[in-house]
Structure 1
Amino acid sequence: MRAAAAIETFLEMMSAERGAARNTLESYRRDLEDAAAFSAAAGEQLTDAANATVRAYLDDISARGFAATSQARRLSALRQFFRFLYTENLRGDDPTSTLDAPKKERALPKIMSEADVEKLLGRAELETNDPQASGASPMQALRLHALLEILYATGLRVSELVGLPVAVARQDSRFLMVRGKGSKDRMVPLSTKARDAMNRYLAARDAQPNLADNSWLFPAVSETGFLARQVFARELKGLAARAGLKTSAISPHVLRHAFASHLLQNGADLRAVQQLLGHSDIATTQIYTHVMEERLHRLVTEHHPLAD
């Protein structure tokens, strides 16, 4: 069967048997027709393409500058196409069976410098003493300062932070017991500044009679009963703007990354950071190894007697 006819038959199967959407079918058509053109230039019908031809095609689209995600999508289309040919006895083997998908480059996490974090926290503290500087109420200023100090001191996920029970804050103030993903509990230490900010906020919260029976540390009128993540993120960006920082580069998650990266930059062990972040797998924490590599390189260049 010639390539064009085989592609049409494959697309009909994808539509009739698997209910593939129109956009999906068009994407398959473009990918397979591009592969067929490459195969034809190499003197083969796509339906008869050898493993080496398919591999050469993948090398070609890589050389053309296709992203790893696009390369993986095209390989997926070819896998399904050749699997279809094999299942329908239109060829006796699958030339893609031994091919590995292109490895996607893992994006490095966005982080803030220590100086920018200090500027942000300093502005938050200033606004607790002068709420008019932000236009917020004294309670809101104290809440935002507490949220930021706790987040940077612990590296909590934003969902863990806004959903802290008030009972946790009334226990040993040196630590917080946090319930993370999979209902797993972990203990995270609090810095002196975070404890002070939390206690100042807690005193203001306790002075509100309507919150006496509320079980959340950061209560709000919401479906959950506590502060929404989106509200916190919006308040954080507003604070960043008032601190003279680039708002597009700042979010609660970026502060969590900053917590981990700054710990590693200052000599913390990767396993300890894994535990503090609540990662079940060390591989998740290894996105920060570039920080350790930079620190080790600096250590060698600064202290090795043969370094330039």
Structure 2
Amino acid sequence: MSKTRATKPRSPSLTTTENDPPFLTEFRIAMLARGLSTRTRNAYIRDLRLCGESTDKPLTDWVERDILVCLSYLQGQDKLPRTQARVLASLRQFFLWQIAEKKREDNPCEHIKNPKVDKPLPKTLSETQVTNLLNSPDISTILGLRDKAMLEVMYACGLRVSELVNLSLEQVNLSAGWLQIVGKGNKTRLIPLGEYAVKALESYLSCRHELLPLAKADCQAVFLTEQGGYMTRHNFWHLIKKYAQIANINTNISPHTLRHAFATHLINHGADLRSVQLLLGHSDLSTTQIYTHVATARLQSLHEQHHPRAEQS
């Protein structure tokens, strides 16, 4: 693990296009002008490169048949329907850009249907499992206090992991009990912290200075590494795996599992979808709607397990 100290939030590196055809570089620049994130632009470039492996024909000259050949090629490479659908979406964006630039008049993806993608319910945790997870860090140590605060904030606010590790001191208002989060698309939202998260943050912040190198108090990250810099997504991924093991949680969980638990438990306790959508920072209500299915599935499971007239397997 790197011992370098990051005094600014870590960002993904931009995919290089030195060996790519010029149109890919032009497309990436156009996506930058649209304000798309580095991660999204990298994903587009990766998908379009993958498409290029299916034929020697330049992407700019593709017609509908070439796209069908590409999808067949991906299927032959055992790519999942979800990957195929994502690649098709990238192609659509590429050809829409070509049309906007008057480099072509048609979108060869127009009449091609998305591969059928099963949408599995997101993995979540029971409230008891979450409680055990949140109680796992050893709060007699500074790193334990930090980890406890991170887990409490993650669950209390339903943050994305990037929002958590990039959280800065100026975004936290403990006296009011709010976080000001800048999420996807640079959209700002206010999220209440709740009593437990506030207490955990206060305990950690009271000794946060112990993680700052002497005479180098310039890092504004709330959650510091042992070197006094910003944490990475991978740092927190390893932490949550460690604490899940301590909490005897045998299912395979990730940082996003706590975000799922946040949304599911809110809906279980009567929160309306619109409020949950605002808290999660979803641009589309249909994205939030999946959590109603999670809650329904949970209720059905409880009914089958405990009702005397339920069918026993």
Specify if TM > 0.5.
Answer: yes
Compute the displacement of 1:99 (Å): 7.3
Structure 1, 145-154 or 276-285: larger mean CA deviation: 276-285
Give unpaired runs (5+ residues) of structure 1: 1-12, 33-66, 76-95, 130-137, 302-308
After superposition, the Cα gap between the structure-2 partners of 1:72 and 1:276, relative to the gap in structure 1 and judged at 3 Å, is closer
Q: Summarize the alignment of residues 142-291 of structure 1 with structure 2, pairs less than 5 Å apart.
A: 142-206=145-209, 210=214, 212-220=217-225, 225-246=229-250, 249-291=252-294
The answer on whether the counterparts of 2:155 and 2:261 sit within 8 Å (CA) in structure 1 is: yes
Compute the displacement of 1:139 (Å): 1.3
Partner of residue 128, structure 1 = 139
In 2, the alpha carbon distance for the partners of 1:217 and 1:71 equals 39
How many percent identity over aligned positions? 40
Q: Summarize the alignment of residues 57-76 of structure 1 with structure 2, pairs less than 5 Å apart.
A: none
Give unpaired runs (5+ residues) of structure 2: 1-53, 74-79, 89-108, 305-313
Compute the displacement of 1:262 (Å): 0.7
TM-score, L = length of structure 1: 0.60
Partner of residue 142, structure 2 = 139
- Aligned partner letter, 2:56: S
- Aligned partner letter, 2:233: R
After superposition, the Cα gap between the structure-2 partners of 1:267 and 1:294, relative to the gap in structure 1 and judged at 3 Å, is farther
In 1, the alpha carbon distance for the partners of 2:160 and 2:168 equals 15
* Larger RCO, structure (CA 8 Å, separation 6 or more): 2
TM-score, L = length of structure 2: 0.59
Compute the displacement of 1:177 (Å): 1.1
Q: Summarize the alignment of residues 85-96 of structure 1 with structure 2, pairs less than 5 Å apart.
A: none
- Aligned partner letter, 1:159: S
After superposition, the Cα gap between the structure-2 partners of 1:255 and 1:15, relative to the gap in structure 1 and judged at 3 Å, is same
In 1, the alpha carbon distance for the partners of 2:226 and 2:265 equals 35
Render the CA deviation track for 1:209-257: whole Å, top value 9, x for unaligned. Answer: 63643211113378x94111101110111111122222x5221101111
Between structures 1 and 2, the one with greater helix share: 1
The answer on whether the counterparts of 2:154 and 2:259 sit within 8 Å (CA) in structure 1 is: yes
Render the CA deviation track for 1:105-158: whole Å, top value 9, x for unaligned. Answer: 22211111111111111222xx103xxxxxxxx111111000000000000111
Q: Summarize the alignment of residues 92-111 of structure 1 with structure 2, pairs less than 5 Å apart.
A: 100-111=113-124
In 2, the alpha carbon distance for the partners of 1:182 and 1:98 equals 29
In 1, the alpha carbon distance for the partners of 2:180 and 2:292 equals 27
Q: Secondary structure at the match of 2:159?
A: coil
Compute the displacement of 1:103 (Å): 3.5
The answer on whether the counterparts of 2:219 and 2:230 sit within 8 Å (CA) in structure 1 is: no
Which structure is larger by alpha-carbon Rg, 1 or 2? 1
Q: Secondary structure at the match of 1:257?
A: helix
Render the CA deviation track for 1:257-289: whole Å, top value 9, x for unaligned. Answer: 110011111111011000000111112212212
Compute the displacement of 1:16 (Å): 4.3
CA RMSD across the alignment? 4.2
